[in-house]
């Protein structure tokens, strides 16, 4: 089978998602959906939870201005419903960054946030 190469930022996002899928609780996973987001060179994934206890959202990718992993987090109203990009400066500004090689740490942070509904 011939493979088509993923955009570098999207490849990082897929690696994070793979780690998330290894550690997320099945009951939380069933309440999540994964979609994409695009911010120029930042190609990433966006997870939304739909449960009675929380409606959290997290977008993650390789940051377009560095090699860092960037995570945007908040609630549904913090993000555009079609692009999944933050809609307010404060959401952009509170991004969380991990070193390029900290895929596992980024995945753990995402799961902790989705599980608790709070900022770890």
Tell me, what's the pLDDT at 13?
A: 94
Domains of the chain, residue spans: 8-116
Q: What is the pTM of this model?
A: 0.88
Inter-residue contact 68 to 97 (CB < 8 Å): yes
Inter-residue contact 41 to 9 (CB < 8 Å): yes
- For residues 71-84, one letter each, b for 16 or more C-beta atoms within 10 angstroms of the residue's C-beta and e for the rest, the string is bbbbeeebbeeeeb
* Mean pLDDT for back-to-back runs of 10 residues, the chain (120 residues): 80 94 94 90 89 81 89 91 91 93 96 75
């Amino acid at each position: 089978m011939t493979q088509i190469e993923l955009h570098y930022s999207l490849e990082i996002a897929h690696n994070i998602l793979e780690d998330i899928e290894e550690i997320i609780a099945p009951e939380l996973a069933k309440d999540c959906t994964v979609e994409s987001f695009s911010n120029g060179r930042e190609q990433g994934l966006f997870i939304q939870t739909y449960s009675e206890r929380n409606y959290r959202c997290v977008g993650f990718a390789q940051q377009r201005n560095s090699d860092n992993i960037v995570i945007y987090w908040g609630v549904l109203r913090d993000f555009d419903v079609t692009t999944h990009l933050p809609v307010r400066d404060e959401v952009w500004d509170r991004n969380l960054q991990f070193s390029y090689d900290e895929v596992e740490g980024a995945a753990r942070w995402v799961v902790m946030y989705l599980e608790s509904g709070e900022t770890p």
